């Protein structure tokens, strides 16, 4: 462990959120910034400044609101801007963290923090905003961050580092969660937070989990054109393996946050135990309205009834029992140091459908290409709703939620207007860069861990607590379009499951638009129409400042992440 220098600065911004609830549905929401305009502590050749703007958050008559509304509010009094800047000479690095602390007066009538949403963005030079976290209710980390100096008992909002002179503008929004019901609360409720900025000099933060994984795996070197082949050396329409392209192990590539380390091939040392079901968990099983032989599984009775009106409480089945542990596969270490995990069920060796949480269409409506997006027109797709409900009712309702960060997710809808023969008429950028096997490899396949910018009003880049794997990640993991092979994701079961990646759409045969998604089916990466059946395997990003509690990642001794 590298010895750290003394704490250089602790910068504090005091913020208060006061909710005055009266009557049945009215809420007054006020927020004020307190403190000097500039707080500055300098040591040697390192300086860091915090500057707050003139504006404050002061919302009168605010009602509980949805994330889609709360995340974009920009009227006077609905947001707070501040700046963190640094002047650094030499090779010194500062690891810093923005966090929030509940400081509600003990004598106050307090609203539960689980109903207060915090949302932080970075303001870009052109005035646009980049999400730094998924909107999240107030929750405190139980462990401290020795790299930034943040103590335990505060809510981490964002962690980063500065290695040179720079200035970053941030925007904070707070709002009342839509789940809050102000009926009979008595009124005059209060919730106050202090937002702190901590920082320490030292080497750029590398999580202990990353160090352990790199110590447990020899880093492999990517081979030229290796993504034209599956990880076992197969290429589309070829029955023999090319031994030069048998690739498995741990590799690296760049993502939007830095260097990412990804697992590839038929490996068995990327197993993780994280979280558990606190109580019996039930879902609703039904059949297709048009085919009694095709079964579907939804998270709630209402979503089941929206699909098949005959669904009732008698359709309820148990997905997991209280105390069941959750097992995951590591897809990769993200560039920000967090671990990207995909759900693998309640057993280290799942069977049948036990490594999934549901079976649904991606979207039941498919009459426009926008329905290939994970969201469209500000609306969540059917599958996003199912993933969100599962997370909210399991990890989101437990202490494990503090370790799950609002990570990056990508539904790449860029260039979804290209006519070609790769698919069924029209495909987009993902199928163009991943489906070249179907053109006889006129170009090489080239997956990416960076989310391309889309001009569409659907899909795009997200910060979410839970989402789905991308088709690019599956190609990195060892898949190739329409080529069968086994990797770590289907060595236990071969359930066909959805990705977050649109494949294309068709408007042929008088059917109108039919959207299609990239899809794993029978160990092959292919596509599936968005209104067809597919299994759901949630993906989360786990941030931890501690090492694995135990394990070496193998099936017999999986890594264990504790809270």
Place of tokens 């003394």: 6
Mean pLDDT of 30-36: 28
Please give the mean pLDDT across all residues of the chain: 83
Tokens of 193: 């937070």
pLDDT band at 426; cut points 50, 70, 90:
low
CA-closest candidate to residue 541, choices 471, 478, 488, 463: 463
pLDDT band at 394; cut points 50, 70, 90:
very high
Show the 3-state SS of 288-356: ECCEEEEEEEECCHHHHHHHCCCCCHHHEEEEECCCCEEEEEEEEECCCCCEEEEECCCCCCCCCCCCC
pLDDT, position 420: 55
Distance CA 21, CA 502 (A): 44
Q: Which of 57-61, 485-489, 552-556 has the lowest mean pLDDT?
A: 57-61
Instruction: Write phi, then psi, for 315 (nearest 5 degrees).
Output: -85, 0
Question: What would the pLDDT profile of 504-546 be if each residue is shown by its tens digit?
Answer: 877 644 444 456 676 677 788 888 888 888 999 999 999 877 7
Number of Cβ atoms within 10 Å of the Cβ of 424: 17
Distance CA 294, CA 292 (A): 6
Instruction: Write phi, then psi, for 25 (nearest 5 degrees).
Output: -140, 5
Q: Which of 106-120, 339-353, 369-383, 456-470 has the lowest mean pLDDT?
A: 106-120
The separation between CA 183 and the C-alpha centre of its own chain, rounded to angstroms, equals 33
Question: What would the pLDDT profile of 268-277 be if each residue is shown by its tens digit?
Answer: 999 999 999 9
pLDDT band at 417; cut points 50, 70, 90:
low
How many Cα atoms sit within 13 Å of 71 on the Cβ side?
Answer: 18
Mean pLDDT of 477-490: 92
Question: What would the pLDDT profile of 131-182 be if each residue is shown by its tens digit?
Answer: 999 999 988 888 888 888 888 998 999 998 887 788 899 998 888 888 888 7
pLDDT at 468 exceeding the cut of 80: yes
Question: What would the pLDDT profile of 277-311 be if each residue is shown by its tens digit?
Answer: 999 999 999 998 887 788 999 999 999 999 999 99
Angle ∠(39,45,46) on CA atoms, nearest 5: 40
Number of Cβ atoms within 10 Å of the Cβ of 209: 23
Q: Which of 16-20, 29-33, 237-241 has the lowest mean pLDDT?
A: 29-33
pLDDT at 472 exceeding the cut of 70: yes
The separation between CA 351 and the C-alpha centre of its own chain, rounded to angstroms, equals 26
């Amino acid at each position: 462990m590298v010895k750290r220098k003394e704490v250089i600065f602790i910068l504090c911004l005091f913020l208060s959120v006061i909710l005055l609830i009266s009557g049945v549905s009215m809420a007054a929401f006020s927020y004020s910034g307190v403190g000097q305009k500039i707080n500055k502590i300098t040591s040697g050749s390192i300086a860091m400044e915090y500057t707050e703007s003139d504006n404050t958050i002061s919302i009168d008559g605010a009602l509980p609101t949805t994330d889609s509304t709360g995340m974009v509010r920009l009227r006077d009094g609905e947001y707070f801007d501040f700046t963190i800047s640094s002047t650094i000479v030499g090779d010194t690095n500062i690891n810093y963290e923005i966090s929030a602390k509940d400081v509600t007066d003990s004598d106050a009538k307090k609203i539960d923090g689980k109903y207060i949403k915090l949302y932080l963005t970075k303001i870009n030079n052109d005035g646009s905003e980049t999400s730094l976290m998924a909107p999240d209710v107030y929750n405190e980390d139980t462990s401290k961050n020795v790299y930034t100096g943040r103590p335990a008992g505060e809510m981490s909002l964002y962690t980063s580092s500065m290695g040179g002179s720079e200035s970053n503008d941030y925007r904070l929004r707070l709002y009342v969660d839509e789940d809050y019901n102000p009926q009979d609360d008595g009124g005059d409720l209060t919730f106050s937070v202090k937002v702190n900025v901590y920082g320490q000099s030292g080497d750029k933060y590398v999580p202990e989990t990353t160090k352990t994984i790199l110590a447990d795996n020899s880093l492999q070197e990517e081979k030229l054109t290796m993504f034209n082949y599956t990880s076992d050396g197969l290429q589309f329409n070829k029955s023999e393996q090319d031994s030069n392209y048998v690739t498995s192990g741990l590799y690296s590539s760049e993502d939007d946050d830095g260097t990412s380390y990804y697992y590839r091939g038929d490996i068995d040392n990327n197993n993780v135990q994280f979280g558990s079901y606190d109580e019996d968990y039930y879902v609703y099983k039904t059949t297709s309205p048009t085919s009694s032989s095709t079964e579907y599984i939804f998270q709630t009775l209402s979503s089941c009834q929206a699909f098949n009106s005959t669904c009732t409480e008698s359709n309820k089945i148990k997905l997991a029992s209280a105390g069941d542990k959750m097992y995951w596969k590591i897809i990769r270490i993200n560039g920000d140091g967090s671990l990207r995990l995909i759900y693998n069920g309640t057993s280290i060796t799942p069977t049948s459908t036990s490594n999934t949480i549901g079976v649904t269409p991606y979207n039941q409506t498919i009459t426009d290409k926008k329905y290939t997006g994970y969201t469209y027109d500000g609306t969540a797709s059917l599958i996003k709703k199912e993933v969100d409900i599962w997370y909210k009712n399991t990890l989101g309702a437990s202490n494990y939620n503090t370790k799950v960060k609002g990570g990056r997710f990508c539904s790449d809808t860029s260039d979804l207007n290209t006519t070609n023969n790769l698919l069924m008429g029209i495909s987009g950028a993902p199928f163009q860069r991943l489906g070249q096997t179907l053109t006889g490899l006129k170009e090489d396949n080239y997956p990416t861990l960076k989310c391309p910018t889309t001009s569409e009003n659907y899909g795009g880049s997200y910060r979410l607590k839970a989402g789905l794997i991308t088709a690019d990640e599956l190609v990195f993991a060892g898949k190739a379009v329409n080529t069968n092979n086994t990797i770590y994701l289907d060595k236990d079961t071969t359930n066909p499951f959805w990705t977050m990646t649109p494949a294309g759409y068709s408007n042929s045969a008088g059917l109108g638009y039919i959207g299609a998604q990239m899809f794993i089916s029978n160990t092959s990466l292919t596509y599936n129409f968005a209104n067809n059946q597919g299994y759901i395997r949630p993906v989360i990003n786990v941030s931890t400042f501690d090492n694995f509690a135990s394990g070496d990642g193998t099936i017999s001794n999986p890594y264990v992440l504790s809270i």
